Amino acid sequence: MFVDRVKVHVKAGKGGDGIVAFRREKYVAYGGPSGGDGGAGGDIVFMVDEGKTTLLDLRYNKKMAAENGGNGKTKKMHGADGSDCVIKVPLGTLVKDAKTGRIIADLTRKGQKEIVAKGGKGGRGNFHFKSSKNTAPQYSELGEPGQELDVQVELKVLADVGLVGFPSVGKSTLLSVVSKAKPEIADYHFTTIAPNLGMVQVPDGRSFVMADLPGLIEGASEGKGLGHQFLRHIERCRVIIHVVDMGANDGRDPVEDYRIINEELSNYEYRLMERPQIVIANKMDLENAEENLKRFKEAYPDVEVFETTTIIAEGLEPVLYRAADLLETTPQFPLFNDEDVDAEAEGVLYKFEPEQPAFEIHNLGNGQWELTGDELEKAFKMSKLDNDEDIMRFARKMRKMGIDEALRNAGCQDGDSVAICDIEFEFVE
């Protein structure tokens, strides 16, 4: 089964907790605090595995979690770091944030690894909080939570040349003739429902990868038929071979077919019409082929047309030479929109991004308030709050962040309830 799109929930490991401990050894005076730090949580890592050709493994394992970090130990000993969760995917896999659509990783190189979710850092032991005013701190930090998100994993076939055209125009036959690939070939529409790849050897020694993709229909760029399923895989191709059924034995018009396919390619988001295109007039052995070819050349006088009959491998050698020549001069086309930053670019693009507030105050009415914000929630989750010293330390941190004053300015009164991460506190003046 060919699976090329799947949604997966990934959760990086939580950092280990720091501990409270004191050194008590014979002959060691004033031992002091010795609680060690927690280990870092494991990352979620996507890695290219050339042996894989589909995302089938992820279809049946949609929740991936890395190992949590180990807790700190006595004598200032560091907890063990959590093991990474390595997810092996085929070459050409794209990983996006399912919520925002942001591209997280584009895996196009052999052995490439990308961290998709970062593990949390370990909490600090009480050794770190020793000071001249507090020589025996009774508190430590909890580990930081690891990143957790839903990701959309897509496989975009990594081929040099892609075959486009309406169903049953001879694309699969062409691939089977010029390579050792064995795609399914039949005389009905949508015979090809999954991409097929073949290594093509040009007579002069050059070679490239060709992809036979599901057929297009009108409205494909809007998702009709196998539209997005098809167009997703041609995004990486540098050269397009447009196969036109010049015989038109099923009543279609080759001139109109050529226009429709190009219109669908131009309407797709990744500017597919910028790629060089080789036009093949296929099935030239049929009765109406010559007449249709004449009309085609009159309609598109600037288009170079290669006449072929793929079923008997006639006229294909010039096509292969032209494809190989174009590949030598055609660069890769990025799969990023203009506003995205290309990780492979030589320079770095700096853009202004407004600083996110450390916290936000929400008035729920009836003396109920809620505090949200990544920085605040992170500080809260890393605080134990199981003794008075921990609580006072967290209260000082909130005061330093300006939360007390902000609540007063917002109208919070003595005795009102303030919630942080579903835990309620009483506001005291």
Annotated binding site: 165-172, 190-194, 212-215, 282-285, 309-311
Residue numbers belonging to the annotated binding site for Mg(2+): 172, 192
* CA distances to 82, 171, 231, 244 from 186, in Å: 52, 11, 22, 17
Residue 363 one-letter amino acid: N
Helix (H) or strand (E) holding 321: helix 317-329
User: Distance between CA 366 and CA 419 in Å, rounded?
Assistant: 13
User: Distance between CA 137 and CA 144 in Å, rounded?
Assistant: 20
Residue numbers belonging to the annotated binding site for GTP: 165-172, 190-194, 212-215, 282-285, 309-311
User: Distance between CA 107 and CA 331 in Å, rounded?
Assistant: 17
Instruction: Collapse the DSSP code of 47 into the 3-class scheme (helix H, G, I; strand E, B; otherwise coil) and give the result.
Output: strand
DSSP string, 222-278: GT-TTHHHHHHHHTT-SEEEEEEESS-TTS--HHHHHHHHHHHHHHSTT-GGGS-EE
Give the tokens for residue 258. 């050529």
CB 206 within 8 A of CB 324: yes
